[in-house]
Structure formats: structure tokens, C-alpha cells
């Protein structure tokens, strides 16, 4: 599930085609079109010199889980036109970086954070596409709204003009048990279906699946998979 520690454009291209092949096979095996699934590369901890190779190999969107690292890399690589995405739990005092540099944010999980982002986005004159994080595994170490808290939060987020809620996001249980992991993904899908039925027509996407579980996520309807180690190699640093 982990790719080689790529250190050339060719090696990044090889990892990229291997992951694309996994996505394609997973989609076809459940009767979905591979184009329905977007690959979002997760570049946290990877230094800028290697990221330039990854971009040259065709990765045009990159996701980071720390606001400072996102801001630094986005500034240093500004001329490349990368679409930057913020995926990690965000403290309200870090909204400035995300409002300024990110196009997309995958970990919205509170009213306070949404309101803080709205204020900064308005000041920056930007809009942010957001995915609302749900804690589908119930693990206390994981961020995200409890499933029962989602509906009224979506109603509030829909009133914030500079946030565009595009979908839901989750991290499944860190378990080898397919039924457990797929159950978490299936729960996110049913919450999405309920949101659409309740009138949130634009809440369509499901951001779920990583290097180790993307096949199960695609089988359960993922429209975005967030993949780090299969593209960049094993992370040595804690992330």
C-alpha cells in the first residue's frame, strides 16, 4: 500500500500510475466509472523540492494537514498554480492560512470554526469549498461531528456565504476488518443521502479512503480519495 520513496519525476509518475490503476480497478469492480473518483494527493511532511517533481509528474492538487506547512509550501510554490487543500483538524486561531491559501477544506467540524472561517474569507475576498468531517467510527481520538449533530450544522453552514459545502469527509477506523471499515464509509454515504433529501442539494461528495483503504471507500461511494504514502512513500516523521 506504500509506494517507493519517489525522488525523481519518473518515480512520481510511476507511483501516480500505480495508484490510478488501483482506483480504476476498484471503480470498475463495483460498476462505477473511474472518472467519478478524484485522487487528492496528501503531501504532508514531503519537502518542497520533491513536491516540485510530483507536480511535474502530474499532481496538480496537493493536500496538507497543518495550516503553517500549507501556507509555507503554497507561498514557496506559488508560480506552479497548485490547487491547495487543507485536510486536517484546524484550530480557530489558524483560519487565516487556510482562508488565504486553500481552495478546499476537508475537516470542518464546528460552528465556531465555520464562523471564524467565514469572517476571514470575507476579509480575504475568497470562497472556500468545504467538506464537513463526521466521526463515523466513534473513536474518541478522531475529530468530526457525531452523526446526530450533522443535520443542524449543515443548516447553519448553508447560511455562510463564503463557505460552499460540497460534501462530507471521514476517516474510517484504523482496523483490518473490512466490515468495520466499510461500515464507517457506508454510514457517511447514508448521511450524505439524508442531507440531500433534506434539501442540501450541493452536499454531493464523499471524501473518504486513504492509501490503505481506498478500495473499500470506492466500493462505498467515495468521490475523493486522499492518498499520501502510496504516492510519496512511507512517512518517517509523525504526521
Ligand X SMILES: *Cc1c(COP(=O)(O)O)cnc(C)c1O
Check binding of 221 to ligand X (CB under 6 A): no
Alpha carbon dihedral 137, 139, 145, 147, in 10-degree steps, equals 40
Q: Could you say which of 22, 44, 73, 192 contacts ligand X (CB under 6 A)?
A: 44
Q: Which cell numbers in the block locate residue 8?
A: 525523481
Contacts (CB under 6 A) with ligand X, residues 76-115: 87-88
CB of 172 to ligand X, least distance (A): 10
Contact 225, 218 (CB under 8 A): yes
| Residue number of the CB atom closest to ligand X | 228
CB of 96 to ligand X, least distance (A): 20
How far is it between the farthest Cα atoms of the chain?
Answer: 48
Q: Could you say which of 23, 26, 42, 160 contacts ligand X (CB under 6 A)?
A: 42
Segment holding 224, helix H or strand E? strand 224-227
Q: Which stretch binds ligand X (CB under 6 A): 24-32, 178-186, 216-224, 228-236?
A: 228-236
Contact 216, 182 (CB under 8 A): yes
Q: Which stretch binds ligand X (CB under 6 A): 18-26, 92-100, 196-204, 221-229?
A: 221-229
Q: Which stretch binds ligand X (CB under 6 A): 14-22, 93-101, 117-125, 208-216?
A: 208-216
Nearer to ligand X, 44 or 153 (CB): 44
Q: Could you say which of 37, 105, 226, 233 contacts ligand X (CB under 6 A)?
A: 226
Check binding of 229 to ligand X (CB under 6 A): yes
Contact 58, 13 (CB under 8 A): yes
Cβ-proximal residues to 102 (8 Å cutoff; 6+ apart), any chain: 70, 74, 84, 85, 86, 128
Rounded-to-5 percentages of helix, strand, coil across the chain: 45, 15, 35
Contacting residues toward ligand X, per CB under 6 A: 42, 44, 65, 87-88, 171, 210-212, 226-230, 239
Amino acid at each position: 500500500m506504500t509506494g517507493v520513496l519517489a525522488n525523481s519525476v519518473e518515480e512520481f509518475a510511476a507511483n501516480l500510475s500505480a495508484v490510478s490503476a488501483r482506483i480504476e480497478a476498484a471503480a470498475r469492480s463495483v460498476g462505477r466509472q473511474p472518472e467519478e473518483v478524484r485522487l487528492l494527493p496528501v503531501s504532508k511532511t514531503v519537502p518542497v523540492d520533491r513536491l516540485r517533481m510530483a507536480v511535474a509528474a502530474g499532481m496538480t492538487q496537493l493536500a496538507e494537514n497543518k495550516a503553517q506547512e500549507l501556507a509555507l509550501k503554497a507561498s514557496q510554490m506559488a508560480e506552479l498554480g497548485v490547487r491547495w487543500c487543507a485536510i486536517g483538524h484546524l484550530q480557530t486561531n489558524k483560519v487565516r492560512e487556510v482562508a488565504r491559501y486553500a481552495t478546499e477544506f476537508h475537516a470542518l467540524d464546528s460552528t465556531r470554526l465555520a464562523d471564524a472561517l467565514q469572517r476571514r474569507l470575507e476579509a480575504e475576498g475568497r470562497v472556500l469549498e468545504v467538506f464537513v468531517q463526521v466521526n463515523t467510527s466513534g473513536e474518541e481520538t478522531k475529530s468530526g461531528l457525531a452523526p446526530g449533530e450533522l443535520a443542524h450544522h449543515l443548516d447553519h453552514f448553508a447560511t455562510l456565504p463564503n463557505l460552499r459545502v460540497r460534501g462530507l469527509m471521514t476517516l474510517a477506523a484504523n482496523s483490518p476488518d473490512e466490515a468495520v471499515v466499510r461500515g464507517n464509509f457506508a454510514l457517511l454515504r447514508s448521511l450524505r443521502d439524508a442531507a440531500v433529501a433534506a434539501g442540501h442539494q450541493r452536499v454531493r461528495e464523499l471524501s473518504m479512503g486513504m492509501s490503505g483503504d481506498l478500495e473499500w471507500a470506492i466500493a462505498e461511494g467515495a468521490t475523493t480519495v486522499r492518498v499520501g504514502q502510496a504516492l510519496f512513500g512511507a512517512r518517517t516523521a509523525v504526521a
